[in-house]
Structure 1
């Protein structure tokens, strides 16, 4: 899975997860902020001014003119990003053997997102591991080991884990969000209390979006806790689609009220498009 995730990540430009509150997380990394400060990347030359020390002069650039120039570097800050991946039984569903299960797509996207964030110098963590976000490739190894496990052990439906969210950080919740929406609202409330913003990615199978059922049908949850048999499945379609649209609308509204961004991704669609959206969402939710 890590090889697939890195392959997916390698085709995208390095988009940066920018922070709204950076004062408490200033580090030297590969994440430029387009202003002078501590960092490795060159930003600009400027003329020597009163108060500048002689050791700051770039003598090679200054030799080409009658003015002494200072070589400024970019101020760089590393942002903490915590990712929660729904491990509930519901995520094991797929409506077609040719499509990945929702859990497989969610794990792939979480790891690909982590690959890009680490390349950009960010600190990344997996809420499921119960560990704080860390920088470097070793964190990817730990995450890959956790995400490649076969077992789904989160009950019927998942609830976002906000236990290890650092204040003023970013977060990503990846789930089908088909459980109790009040639990998601509570999790977003806790995140907002810590000045955490981020992205909600709802992962659904196309079957869950179109409800292509007719006649006698038995509906059973992946965990076996819910079972419903009907002789007229087609008669449920309109009500089901209305409820699904209502759920999506509530997630979008919860996101907007909390300063988060929401979108729905289908397992039959491009994983690359979802990954690009995630990076853009992290960059915009500031």
Structure 2
């Protein structure tokens, strides 16, 4: 993804306020796109714009004004009755960082931004984590799964999230994901690096895919994981197992880049599954632009 103007995660992390960062990114997004007609969830909204003299005051979104203190005109008043589930990878590799931004921090801001959009649309929202081979419920669906209360619960859960250990689901252990089983029409958003030893992430995704559920995967990667421009001797550490290895970066660069490209191409091919969408983002990409690219792509 080409670098574009927008709020960078490196700057947003310094605010140390997940609610504020999520609001800033979502408002940047709301005022700049025409998304597709509603076919899924609350992040699929029509364009908002600032109120102008001559506009009918009845077109002002007063609920949004109460939350943002801005007079915004909404092109459509379509309401949301969709289920929106967030699924966060909390394995140790989510602690990988570049230029002061970890993969987990990027994921937290991205999900907070989507949760804010869900809050505006009054979507039914829930949050889960995959950690140490188990599914962890952070904010469950229920009678209080929409509106401000759900949004605040989501933020608290995201702020407390810690990444460690491995994510491994052994053959036949799909039962661990029982709480995510559903025949209702919904959208599930998974944020992960999708780095796997065998096919553990593909196993999860295949077990969750069905005609009633659209799965959107945001794969977060670092520039070095894709380009590998390092030179000199480095001690490389597996953030999930703790194993370390000292290598001359230049001597392994070609093999690393070739292997990484082959892996990501195979992953992309394997994810050609109905109702599954893969969005790849770098830690250096503005989060708002990642979301805009996703929504614009779906419009097409």
TM over 0.5: yes
Q: Does 1:186 align with 2:203?
A: yes
* SS of residue matched to 1:257: coil
* SS of residue matched to 1:127: strand
- Per-residue deviation at 1:150? 5.7
Matched with 1:8 is 25
> What is the 5 A alignment of 1:234-273?
234-273=250-289
Q: Could you list the runs of 4 or more consecutive aligned residues of structure 1 that deviate by over 6 angstroms after TM superposition?
A: 158-161
Q: What is the aligned length? A: 234
Per chain length, whose mean CA-contact separation is higher, i.e. which structure has more relative contact order (CA < 8 Å, sep 6+)?
A: 2
Matched with 2:120 is 119
- Per-residue deviation at 1:136? 1.1
**Could you tell me whether the CA contact under 8 Å between 2:79 and 2:121 is conserved in 1?**
no
Matched with 2:156 is 145
Question: For the residues of structure 1 that align with 2:228 and 2:35, how far apart are their CA atoms?
Answer: 36
Q: Does 1:164 align with 2:168?
A: no
Q: TM-score scaled to structure 1, two decimals?
A: 0.70
> What is the 5 A alignment of 1:105-116?
105-116=106-117
Question: For the residues of structure 2 that align with 1:240 and 1:212, how far apart are their CA atoms?
Answer: 11
- Per-residue deviation at 1:261? 1.3
Change (3 A) 1:279 1:147: farther
- 65, 78, 88: which one aligns with 2:91: 88
Question: For the residues of structure 1 that align with 2:179 and 2:35, how far apart are their CA atoms?
Answer: 24
Q: Does 1:131 align with 2:140?
A: yes
* SS of residue matched to 1:148: helix
Matched with 1:62 is none
Q: What RMSD in Å do the two structures reach over aligned CA positions? A: 3.3
* SS of residue matched to 2:196: coil
- Per-residue deviation at 1:205? 1.6
Q: Does 1:103 align with 2:104?
A: yes
**Could you tell me whether the CA contact under 8 Å between 2:139 and 2:154 is conserved in 1?**
no
- Per-residue deviation at 1:109? 0.2
> What is the 5 A alignment of 1:210-221?
210-221=227-238
Change (3 A) 1:266 1:198: same
The one-character-per-residue Cα deviations of 1:62-93 (angstroms, maximum 9, x if unpaired) are: xxxxxxxxxxx988551111111111221111
Task: Work out which of the two has the higher radius of gyration on C-alpha atoms and give 1 or 2.
Answer: 1
| 5+ long unaligned stretches in structure 2 | 1-17, 47-57, 60-75, 130-137
Question: For the residues of structure 2 that align with 1:131 and 1:137, how far apart are their CA atoms?
Answer: 15
Question: For the residues of structure 1 that align with 2:162 and 2:209, how far apart are their CA atoms?
Answer: 31
* SS of residue matched to 2:285: coil
